[in-house]
A = this chain, B = another copy of it.
Amino acid sequence: MSQDPLVVFTPSGKRGYFPKGTPVLTAARQLGVDLDSVCGGRGICSKCQITPSYGEFPKHGVTAIEGALSEWNAVEQRYDDKRGLAKGRRLGCQAKIENDIVIDVPAESQVHKQVIRKAASERAIEMNPATKLYFVEVAEPDMHEPSGDLERLGEALKSQWGLGNVTADLRVIGKLQPTLRKGKWQVTAAIFQDHKEDTGQIIELWPGLHEDGIFGLAIDLGSTTIAAHLTDLRSGEVVASSGLMNPQIRFGEDLMSRVSYAMMNPGGDLEMTAAVREAMNTLITEIASEAGIASALIVEIVFVCNPVMHHLLLGIDPVELGQAPFALATSEALSFAARDLELSAVNGSARSYILPCIAGHVGADAAAVALSEEPGQSEDLVLVVDVGTNAEILLGDQTRVLACSSPTGPAFEGAQISSGQRAAPGAIEKIEIDPASKDPRFRVIGCDLWSDELGFDAATASSGITGICGSGIIEAVAELRMAGLMDDSGLLGSAEATGTPRMIPDGRTHSYVVHDASATGGPMISVTQGDIRAIQLAKSALYAGARLLMDEMGVDKVDRVVLAGAFGAHISSKHAMVLGMIPDVPLNKVFSAGNAAGTGARIALCNKQARADIERIVRQIVKVETAIEPKFQEHFVAANAIPHKTDAFEELSKVVSLPAVSFNTGSESSKGGRRRRRRD
């Protein structure tokens, strides 16, 4: 047995014998223990904090005595005086091994720390960002060996960090000399390393040790909203989240109307590109300000979006996406400078990455959902539905994954609904209709009370009750069906037929009054026949897409449904199934994945290996094109009724007991604003 002391690191359990006097950081590196260091062991970055444990450790076969580490030294004292070191903590680069010892590496000292993705999920992201910080000491220039400052910085990065082939753009080269001299030949470099290449690019330089961190943005660019998560690229923590309406809405509400705008107006694509890039800069400035960081500390951006937004963001005319064969200009992931998108608000050398598209109608957002939800890793057959203006649908398991996109329209987001509104305080998000009295009770965003509970009026006084959001309208329509106020063709009954004065005439059809504040100058919130037709069209499209994939897979049912998208997070599984939005599965097999596309963007931001993974995965996904598949139209028409009866639904109906209702008067006309699609 060796005379050298034994060192056991926890939580990894890695162990080894090291000569007395070996710094803990050195031992950790030799064992491959995940212990962080930005300054390379110079005692100035404090990232390598460890906690020694003393006493008997029978489990590890170690007895650690006081003095097993070298004495607290002047470097540690200076750091403690200046910034404070938690009790029991030592700096791994300063504390030297003198005797057998157990050393714990706390989570915050791990480079590849695991970041909890969201409260609702147990899965974690391993930190392995493409851009990291490196502190280096650079050799001073020598007239007799006249190499450039950049070349000497490159040598320092190679010898001190093992980084070869490091380059810099002209902006960074331009600031190199003053930065090196200000830092007295010590600088911190933020270096981007592509996941596909063995090269590095210096994104930014700071004199001395840079302690303000670096940040990345995960941006989910939707047709209607742009959502951004500002993420600390060292800890993985989301330091701020913010959103903005997509200003392209003024060119067209949905994707196809934007494509039409580009077709009809020469240069229209450029207008839309300029609008979205400008909004992006606004959003970036806002989110940096909200987090209290300089926006120049944002060194990376990852984008996910549908194909039309993808093209419009990148400055590509989306006209080909509006007509068969729906050819993408490029389907592969792209890595480029953020300044190529005129994103002046971030660091001038910041990098951008956009996930690959799956097909002309199935974009980088669907790829991000695949990265986040990993249907290809699933043991049971899972249907992943990302509900937005377009629904992206994935169906698969470990054997294969299919994907399609379905044009649901904006109804699920509360648009094209008479009392519809965005999910914001004052919007009705939950609703129940009593089958006996036919009266509703509801909850609004921003208040935890139901409308029939004490204090509701006071609690909602400031926001008011302003409309119905996407999840509210789904519930309302399903509840109207369950309360017997609507038949299974989707027709609302009259006051006479239903026996409730809440049913009021509206042209040749009827509307259901949810909340009437018109006497006090407030809004009258109702569900109209047109609203129901809009929801029917949307849900039929969604359902038909899912069915098409099931046909392709050769199955009649799925094992599990994952609802993604901000909307998916709020929707009630029961109501979605009553409505026939999704194939019938047991209610406990319906899950919400939150904003899975945004999560996929965050994963690609925090872990460059995930970029390689998704680029490989999308090539394996089988694409199904809804627009040319006759079966899609068949499914679409067949899905119009509420509910769509299947065996599985019979199971469900035992719980929700739908009445048989019919109000067919022959006088209904479609008022939904959108023409109902029929097969010719």
| Residues of chain A at the chain B interface (Cβ within 8 Å) | 140-144, 146-151, 169-171, 173-174, 176-178, 314-317, 319-320, 324-332, 336, 340-341, 357-360, 623, 625, 628
Contacts and interface: CB of A to CB of B under 8 A. Distances in A.
A327 B140 CA distance: 9
A314 B142 contact: no
Contacts of A317: 174, 177-178
Contacts of A315: 170-171, 174
A329 B360 contact: no
A173 B313 CA distance: 12
B325 A143 contact: yes
B628 A331 contact: no
A360 B146 contact: yes
Contacts of A319: 177
A221 to B, nearest CB: 16
At the interface, is chain A mostly helix, strand, loop or mixed? Answer: loop
A327 B148 contact: yes
Nearest to A178: B317
A52 B332 CA distance: 47
27 contacts: A140-B325, A141-B327, A142-B325, A143-B324, A143-B325, A144-B625, A146-B327, A146-B360, A146-B625, A147-B331, A148-B327, A149-B320, A149-B330, A150-B329, A150-B332, A151-B331, A170-B314, A170-B315, A170-B341, A173-B316, A173-B329, A174-B316, A176-B316, A176-B329, A177-B317, A177-B319, A177-B329
A532 B140 CA distance: 42
A357 B151 CA distance: 12
Nearest to A319: B177
A361 to B, nearest CB: 8
A148 B327 CA distance: 6
A243 B144 CA distance: 35
B330 A150 contact: yes
A173 B330 contact: yes
Contact of A340 (B169, B336, B357, B358): B169
Contacts of A142: 325
A340 B348 CA distance: 12
Contact of A314 (B174, B314, B324): B174
